[in-house]
Structure 1
Amino acid sequence: METITTPSGIEIAFDRYVGGDAGTVILIGGAFSFRKFPKMVELAERLANEYRLTVINYDRRGRGDSSDSPGVYNVDNEIDDIAALVDAVGGSAALFGWSAGAGLALLAAASGRIPGITRVVAFEPPFVVDHENFVPPADLDVTLHALIAADRRSEVVRFYMTKGMGMPRAFAAIMRFTPMWKDLLATSSASAHDWAIMGPYMRGAALDAADWAGVTVPTLVMSGEKSGALLRTGARAIAAALPNARHRELAKLSHNPNIAIMAPAAGEFLTGTAEYADWAPSTTERA
């Protein structure tokens, strides 16, 4: 484990996987994710070993071995954390974001505050752009922040899963009997950071391309053919709103992805191999 301290005093913990000379990518997890989550570790290992990338797999603030800013939930702070990581690895890096982490990666690129971002991969950012499936309550943060402040972690997990992510109540109830329940509890308070990122874009309204005009670097938006309609619709919508993006829908992939399927699509794009050697935006592709 390595650490850096951001200008605001947050300690960010990360693991560095050195694969070769193909560049650096920073992995950004989503809700309830942390750097030791097995699929994040597998993704980091595959991108390093098979695509010669140096991979930075970090704990976002409030997770794992990173510190937090309790009661302060602002996406700009997390963009500052990413900026500090980019500086720490030499000033240049691509971003790979998963779920809410994909939303954060896109917002970081759109901000214009991190000129060293070279490319972005966004896997199923949970944009809610219509009322066809699920729309979280607009005041979700009021209840969420109160539960976090009271340290009612089990309730935080159930509330965010059902009201913030649209999971069926029965599924959320079953989670407490799984081995991952302790990890969900440990990262529960960080869900407020995820809502700060995604909340404004989960209102059931179309995305405004002007909000994303700053994402000028090549961007690959990925979704899984087996994922729900909400996530697939959101992926297509953000790809269409970005000025320099492609969307790929991968067969046999879901929001709980098979890394052996996901990693090649991401690795080929991040290293500019094969079809990505001569980059040009295009419409949805299926693979």
Structure 2
Amino acid sequence: MGTVRFGVHDVVNIRFAISPLGETVAAFRAALDPGRYAVHLPWLRTAVPLVEGRDLARRTAPLADLVRRTAVPEALTPPPRCPLSEIEEELARAAVGAETADAVRAWWRAAVEPHWPRMRALLEADIAHRTRQLAEDGIREVLAHLHPTLSWEGDRLVSPHLPSPGPGRADVVLDLDGAGITLAPTVFAPECRLLAGDGTAPPALVYPARALGPLWERRDPAGDGLARLMGRSRARLLAHTSSPSTTTQLAARTGLSPGAVSQHLAVLRGAGLVTSHRYRREVHYTASDLGTALLRSP
């Protein structure tokens, strides 16, 4: 039985986050045991040959050893801290050696990074749904509807299938003690799990994201109609802003120069199709509701 006990200060310190490191490790586990992840079959068709290939198998051997030895490699998956974390930030906090970190990077670049924009877009859509639910129904409903196995009882979140953090602590109550908790949706993990706080971040509850069905659908997000309307370069840029992206990232994804990307973004922003916000020293661009609706239209 897994139990998380909340106090008043914990309720006001609930936040959401996304973990590229956690998703990378979970994706590796899925490729090692594809029979449990039928919903990801389109991705698995390319990922399984990668993990079985001689070169990548050699480079990811330390990661394979760690994943096979423990169901939840906590040293490799610290609790995420924000929705815009980068994998290198999380690797710097992980308690693993250089060989394991290099193995994670190899798998990330080969099997996860090419699909990360669409994965992150789905995770962000889940967070947007939960925050709307928070505004309409309150935090109790958000917590109670994260997964069918979870229930809210008094001041506790309880599930018979929710492992408590730490080996051999299946029935131990996790008392948040005012630190709050981070809610982190995941694409690959089929069930909820708890990550203990590590001193730099509070505990995290990882839960399966909703609406996984369309994740691997193949479509051209910058279709001919949209390209004729605004030009192919701007249509491609708009498609790549389905998740927050910097000018440098957009240039790398589209093959356009950073200067051209900036000019096109200025036009898209002026038309109300993208929004921008600053995070640390970077400006991230995201499709607005209008831009998203335009991308989804036939």
TM-score (norm 2): 0.30
Q: Quick one: higher RCO (CA 8 Å, sep 6+), 1 or 2?
A: 2
